[in-house]
Structures are given as structure tokens and as C-alpha cells.
Amino acid sequence: MLGTLTRYLRFMGYDTMSANGLPEGDKKEDSMLLAIAGQEHRILLTKDAELARRGEESALLIRSDEVMEQVQQLIDLHLVKRRLTLSRCSLCNTPLREANTCEVGSADYAPKDWRNLSFFWCSSCKKLYWNGSHGKRLEERIENELKG
């Protein structure tokens, strides 16, 4: 349900696990999520008011359906900072490292003009990221649409 928010938080550098794929409203799954949040000192973000209530301090009810408003809610609560780091893979949460020439060359979706670009690599997905693609648009949205 919060898949877009998950990807955005990873682009913003935050270690973000996703519970997508787990059945919703399942009491046993919910208890497991709360246990993981407690053990790993994570905050459980949810659209499920009942789950948020059960989680008390370690859960947060996300109010909006719009992703930028969701990020704004987290900024207002001082849970995240308004910045884009491009430091984690948006698909799998693995920290990105600088890509080497070979890796950049291996990605047929990479821009041909490498000037002024920095490339990053997810060693888990074998996926190439660079500033100026997805990151650029998101950076503009963060600058223009968010306060704080």
C-alpha cells in the first residue's frame, strides 16, 4: 500500500523495509510486523488505523494517499530530512556504491554521455543508478513541494 513511499524513503537514504506481499489485516502478520519494528528499532508506517493504534510508539498512521504529503508528514514529525541522497537501491534497500566503468558499460539503459554524471550500483539487483535520472525529478519535487 505504501510502495511509492518506500521507494522515495530509500532514495532519501533511509533504511526502509517493505511489508508488501504480506496479507493485510491479518492479526498474526500484524503482530510479526510490530515485533520486527520493536526488535530492529524501526517505525512501522501503515495506513491501517487499528495496526497503528496497536503499535503505539513504534507505529505511525500515514494519513494521506499522496506520496509527497506522506513524506511531508514524516518531515513534520522530524523523522526524515528533506534531502535526496541516492544512497540506497529503491527496489531492494541495499546501500549503493560507486559504479565502476565496467558496470556502467554493462547497462544498456545508461546514458551515453557520462559527463557530469555520477553512477551508483546495486550489487544485489545489478542495477545502475545515476544522478539526473529518477533522482533529478525527485530532487526537484523535494525542493519545490516540501517544507522544512
Binding site for Zn ion (CB under 5 A): 89, 91-92, 94, 122, 124-125
User: Cα(64)–Cα(113) distance, rounded to whole angstroms?
Assistant: 39
Q: How far apart are CA 94 and CA 21, in angstroms?
A: 19
| Residue number, 57 or 108, with CB nearest to Zn ion | 108
- If the CB atoms of residues 17 and 125 are measured against Zn ion, the closer one turns out to be 125
Please state, in angstroms and rounded to a whole number, the distance separating the CA atoms of residues 33 and 142: 29
Buried b (16+ CB within 10 A) or exposed e, 103-112: bbeebeebee
Give me 72's grid cell: 511531508
Kindly state the smallest distance separating residue 58's Cβ from Zn ion, in Å.
26
Nearest approach in angstroms of CB 90 to Zn ion is: 8
Nearest-approach distance from CB 59 to Zn ion, in angstroms: 26
CB closer to Zn ion, 7 vs 74: 7
Beta carbon nearer to Zn ion, 12 or 62: 12
Give the shortest CB-131-to-Zn ion separation in angstroms.
17
Residue 56: all three cell numbers together:
503505539
Report the amino acid identity of residue 135: G
